[in-house]
Each structure stands twice: as structure tokens, then as C-alpha cells.
Amino acid sequence: MRDDIDVKYFRQQLEKRLDEITAGQKPVEPVDLDQARVGRLTRMDAMQQQAMTQAAARLLSLEKQRIRTALDRMASGDYGYCIGCEEEIAEGRLRADPSHLTCIACARAADPR
């Protein structure tokens, strides 16, 4: 357990974000191909819109997963340590997003840009 960071504060942030995601998440409706009901949207527009909604939903569910993992790691005292190299994750990185599970070096190694 790290005592150099305010784990309690990060837990509050994570729980708040988890609530927001859960409250905002709605099941994705199937594309309605009935033109009359689709209204001014063309079928292509409706499908494109659905694809974007699904992509956004996927991102949110990934974030939810990360938050749950971070909360689990708080419970076990592993929070704030990188799941890649087990080094401490910089506090600034956790402040930017408390659900970060890796240090910046491991994040860059996994997703070099």
C-alpha cells in the first residue's frame, strides 16, 4: 500500500466516475430501417450513428473495467503500482486519470505513437 498518494481521494474519484458511466449507459437500440420512423435520417446516417454509439459504448465499458480493476487493487493494497513492471505510477498520472493501471513507460511500450 502506498502512503505517498491519497488513495481515498482517488477512490472517491473512481466511484464517482463509475456512477456517471453506469447512469449514462443505455442499451444500444438496433437500427430502425423503417424510413417513416427514422424520419429525416437516411438509413446510412442511422447506421453510422449506431456505429458511433457502439464505439462510444465500447470505450465506456473498457473504462468501467479499468475502474473496477483499480478499485480491486485498492482493496488488495496494490493500487498505484504498475501492472506491467510493478513500479510506482507517478502521482500526476493518477491525478490525470485515477484508473491508470500502468506507468507511463509501460503505457508507451504497449502503445507506441
Considering only the stretches 9-17, 28-36, 54-62, 100-108, report the one whose residues sit in contact with Zn ion under the rule CB under 5 A: 100-108
Give the cell for residue 53.
454509439
CA neighbor of 79 nearest in space, from 14, 16, 1: 1
Q: Which of 84, 88, 90, 95 is in the footprint of Zn ion by CB under 5 A?
A: 84
Number of C-alpha atoms within 13 angstroms, CB side, residue 13?
A: 14
Q: Which of 5, 82, 94, 101 is in the footprint of Zn ion by CB under 5 A?
A: 82
Q: Which of 42, 53, 85, 108 is in the footprint of Zn ion by CB under 5 A?
A: 85
Q: Which is nearer to Zn ion, 6 or 88 (CB)?
A: 88
Q: Is residue 103 part of the contact set for Zn ion (CB under 5 A)?
A: yes
Q: Is residue 59 part of the contact set for Zn ion (CB under 5 A)?
A: no
Largest CA distance in the chain: 61
Is 113 exposed, middle or buried (CB count within 10 Å of its CB: 0-12, 13-18, 19+)?
Answer: exposed
The site for Zn ion (CB under 5 A) is made up of: 82, 84-85, 103, 106
